Each structure stands twice: as C-alpha cells, then as structure tokens.
C-alpha cells in the first residue's frame, strides 16, 4: 500500500513520530494509502530547509521567479488530467469538477507570472533639498499555508505561487484526508525548475498545525477551513507575532426575485448547491425566494431536478455529484437533516440512505431539499457543508436583505433578478464579501482577491490577487540624500523636508 510522505528540502521522509492514518477512496470506502503524520520536529526541519533556501530565492530577480511560474503553467496544462484524477480519487468529486478546480488554480499561477509588475515600487525626487524617497515591497521570509480537503489542489495553489513569486519560501500543511494532491503539486514545481527547499510539504493533524502557529521563524500563515478553526489559527498565530489570514465557513444565500428567470435560477441552484456534493465554502446552501408564489414555483421546479441528480463515481462521465469525503462527514450531514426535520422543516427530497450498486461501501448521500426552513432552525444556522439546499421564504426584498445581513457568516451571496435597480441596491447594501448578480458562485477571478466578511474571514487581507501581494510582502521606504557640500548643522526638530 502506498505511503504518502513528507517532502522537506529535496528529501522524501516518513519523519520521526511513527504516526500515520489511512487515506480512503470515498467512492468505494476502501483504504488506498496511508499518510504519515508529522509534528513539531517535521515542521522545524521544513522551516530550516525553507530558511536556508530563502536567501538565494529572495535575491532571485522577480522576472526569474516569474519564469518558474510560467514553466509551472506549462507543466500543469500538460498534466491537467493527471491532477484531476488525483483530486477525484481521494476527494470523490467528479472529473469535470476536478478539472474546473485545476483551471481556477491555473488562473492564480498566471497572475503570479506577472509578479514583476505587481512588485514595482514608487520613487519621488526632491521631496526635500537634495532628498529623494522611494518605496519597495520586500518578502517576509518563511511563510506557511494550512489548507482544507475540499480543494486539495486549488487552495494550495491560491497561496504558494503568490508567496513564492513575491520572494518567500513556503511550508505547506495540507489536509490529511486527501494528501496526494499536495505531493503532486511539489512534483509539478520541481519539474518547473523550483530550487530545493523553496517549497516543503509536511502532513499532519493538530500537532502539525500548532507547530506551524508557534514556530518563531514562520512569518505569516494563510489558512482556509471552518470558522472555529480559522478563529483558533488567527488567535494563536497572531499571539506568536505572525501575520495571519484565516478564511472560515459560510452560509451563502441566493435571493430569487419574483421577476427572475426561474429556469436560470433553478439551474444555478442545482450547480451551486450540489456541485462537489456541497463541500464548498462558496456553495449556495440557502435559497431565499421572495413571496409565496415565487417560492411555490421554485420548489416545484427544483424538487424533480434534485431527485434526478446523477450521483456516481468520478470514473463515470455521466456523474453530476460524487460521494462525501468521509463516512463521519456523511453521518454528520444526515444528523443535520434529521435535526431540521424535527424542528419543522419539510423534507421535499431526502438524500439519506442512498446506496449505489457496486459501490455499497462508499460514502454516498443524495441531494436533499428542505422547504419552510426558518431562521431559528439549526439547519439554517449551521454550515452543513454537504448536498443540502434549504428554502427559506421571505415576504419581501427587505426581509431577505436583513436575513443575510444579520447572519454570522458573510462569505458569498447572490441575487437573481431582471431589475437593475434591485441588483445595484443589493450589491451596495449587502454585508457580504463576494456578491453575484445572476451569478451563483461569485468566486473572483485571479486579478481580484477572494475573501469574506464577518465570521467568514479573520485578518485584513484577502487571498490571491493584489491582496496577496500585500500579505506576502512588507513595505520599506527609503529616504536618501547624497553629500552636496551643503552644511546646515544638527537638526533637533522633527524633519519636515523644508
């Protein structure tokens, strides 16, 4: 059976803890590998390798660092199908969905390829008598990323290319549930010409996370995961003096106005609610139709499509939705559905109890549609992170906006309407970081930055794009004067440059 090891410097190692855990194929439920679990010693070794590599890598001109990103893009395009298959094998998402993940990762690689332009400084001549001033952005040093299971290639590649292009070296602690994608990323970078030690991979659980957060040589940490862990990472990382961006959970709403194209809205809800089995922080999990008539028509159109979802393994090109990541996650989602039913939600389509012929031991759950959900129900308050779509009926637009603005999460949201005035008002008033107008999953392109509001994000900077350049660099301003024969004596007042 394959053993997935740490990658530190130029070495593959099992580390010193003697601990490991199984890795499963969610479609079959069978163990397909084991991953070694590191802790403080492995993190320290990775940091030492990264620190040793930092001096030469940070002195490498940005244009040469960009060439590695250009080469990475070519490698990823050539091996795109292999990357997608690696994702699907351990995560379970369909092959087409995995290919979409690769495409979004590539966008950030392409943005990082233009890093020379993004690191340009400012220069001002004669800010005072014979005095010039210039500002530049310099890398931080060794930085780290802690990434989730749901996008085992995309999220690491939202972080690593930007951090490396800015001149930092990197330690990645990926999810231990689907770790092979991280090791494949390491191979892709190596093929692209990245020097040894610039990128390091340490697998592990909480012990490895805590070692990252506490290590004094790690200057910054980027995290994506659930809100409770994001808050923990932010608090502990900041306490040890680190720069931290920690992206947390979500409860994303989609308002359906009475004038919306209902067919378009239903198609959007199907893809945004059930794609990747709902295991996305940008998934739409709450549909908010305005008015009873709109709600009735929406549920009438939605129900047969949810019931007809083609659920199967990634190897079946007809599959629209794959399995849940683990059996424990499947049970937790089923418990959430049961709690919603007990609290009064109507189970219009029930995905529990699904069995797939030939895959009886897989972690399968069908699409679930709940109607008459209310804001006081646990099924509404909780981030379910599964293929469960709740319909919460609002009497008018104002009630729907208040509903979204008072929710603790503020990651993504959308409105479907033909009314430009309503859409413009929504985009301005809604207290959410990423907004879609007739776009159900408004993940920004790489030239912008990804980030939520409220308890969906901790820290000042979004991930990738221009925000990432600021996160992975620090500003230095230099004020200089060269001898000109002018002698004015000592100055004891605060310098004014007059």
Residue 391 structure tokens: 């319909």
Instruction: Return the half-sphere exposure (C-beta side, CA atoms, 13 A cut-off) of residue 97.
Output: 30
Torsions phi, psi for 90 (to 5 deg): -100, -25
**What residues pair up with 321 in beta bridges, in sequence order?**
311
- Contact by Cβ (8 Å): 84, 106: no
The string of DSSP codes covering 355-417 is --TT-TTS-----EEEES--TTSHHHHS---SSEEEE--BSSHHHHHHHHHTSSEESEEEEE-
H or E segment at 230? helix 227-239
Residue 164 structure tokens: 């490396």
* Strand 131-139 versus strand 473-481 pairing type: antiparallel
Query: What are the distances in angstroms from CA 160 to CA 37, 169, 193?
Result: 21, 9, 15
Residue 87 structure tokens: 């994702």
Kindly state the DSSP code that residue 128 receives in the 8-state scheme: E
H or E segment at 31? strand 31-37
Number of H helices, E strands in the chain: 16, 23
Closest CA to 454 of 415, 422, 413, 400: 413
CA dihedral for 180, 184, 187, 189, sign (positive or negative): negative
- Give the total residue count for the chain: 498
The Cβ of residue 24 has, within 10 Å, a number of other Cβ atoms equal to: 23
Q: Is 18 exposed, middle or buried (0-12, 13-18, 19+ CB in 10 A)?
A: exposed
- Residue 10, classed as helix, strand or coil, is coil
* Strand 473-481 versus strand 169-173 pairing type: unpaired
- The verdict on whether 281 is a catalytic residue reads yes
**What residues pair up with 368 in beta bridges, in sequence order?**
388
Range 328-333 contact pairs with CB under 8 angstroms and sequence separation of 24 or more: 329/363, 329/385, 329/386, 330/363, 330/364, 330/365, 330/386, 332/386, 333/365, 333/384, 333/385, 333/386, 333/387, 333/388
How far apart (Å, rounded) are the C-alpha atoms in residues 76 and 88? 16
Residue 101 structure tokens: 């993940």
- Residues carrying an active site annotation: 281
């Amino acid at each position: 059976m394959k053993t997935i090891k740490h990658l530190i410097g130029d070495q593959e190692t099992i580390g010193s803890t003697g601990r490991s855990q199984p890795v499963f194929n969610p479609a079959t439920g069978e163990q397909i590998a084991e991953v070694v679990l590191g802790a403080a010693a492995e993190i320290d070794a990775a940091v030492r390798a990264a620190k040793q590599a930092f001096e030469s890598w940070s002195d490498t001109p940005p244009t040469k660092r960009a060439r590695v990103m250009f080469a990475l893009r070519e490698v990823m395009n050539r091996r795109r199908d292999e990357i997608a298959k690696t994702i699907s094998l351990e995560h379970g998402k369909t092959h087409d969905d995995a290919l979409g993940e690769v495409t979004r990762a590539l966008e950030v690689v392409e943005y990082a390829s233009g890093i020379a332009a993004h690191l340009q400084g400012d220069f001002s001549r004669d800010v005072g008598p014979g005095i010039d001033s210039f500002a530049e952005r310099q890398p931080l040093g060794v930085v780290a990323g802690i990434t989730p299971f749901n996008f085992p290639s995309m999220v690491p590649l939202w972080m690593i290319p930007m951090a490396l292009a800015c001149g930092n070296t990197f330690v990645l602690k990926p999810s231990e549930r689907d770790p092979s994608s991280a090791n494949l990323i390491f191979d892709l970078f190596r093929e692209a010409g990245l020097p040894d030690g610039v990128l390091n991979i340490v697998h592990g659980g909480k012990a490895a996370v805590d070692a990252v957060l506490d290590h004094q040589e790690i200057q910054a940490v980027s995290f994506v995961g659930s809100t409770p862990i994001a808050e923990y990472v932010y608090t502990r990382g900041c306490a040890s003096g680190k720069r931290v961006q920690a992206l947390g959970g979500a409860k994303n709403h989609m308002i359906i106005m009475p004038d919306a194209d209902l067919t378009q809205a239903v198609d959007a809800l199907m893809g945004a609610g059930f794609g990747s089995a709902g295991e996305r922080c940008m998934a739409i999990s709450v549909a908010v139709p305005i008015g009873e008539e709109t709600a009735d028509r929406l549920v009438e159109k939605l129900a047969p499509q949810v019931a007809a979802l083609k659920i199967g393994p990634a190897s079946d090109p007809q599959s629209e939705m794959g399995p849940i990541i683990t059996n424990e996650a499947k049970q937790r989602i089923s418990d959430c559905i049961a709690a919603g039913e007990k609290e009064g939600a109507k189970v219009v389509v029930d995905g529990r109890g699904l069995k797939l012929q030939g895959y009886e031991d897989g972690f399968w759950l069908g699409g679930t549609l709940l109607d008459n959900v209310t804001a006081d129900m646990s099924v509404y308050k909780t981030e379910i992170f599964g293929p469960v779509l709740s319909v919460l009926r609002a009497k008018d637009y104002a009630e729907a906006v208040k509903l979204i603005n008072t929710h603790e999460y503020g990651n993504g949201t959308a409105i479907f309407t033909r009314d430009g005035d309503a859409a413009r008002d929504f985009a301005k008033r809604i207290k959410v970081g990423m907004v879609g107008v007739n776009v159900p999953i408004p993940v920004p392109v790489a030239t912008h930055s990804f980030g939520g509001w409220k308890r969906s994000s901790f820290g000042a900077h979004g991930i990738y794009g221009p925000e990432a350049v600021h996160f992975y660099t620090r500003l230095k301003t230099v004020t200089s004067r060269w001898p000109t024969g002018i002698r004015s004596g000592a100055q004891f007042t605060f310098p004014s440059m007059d």
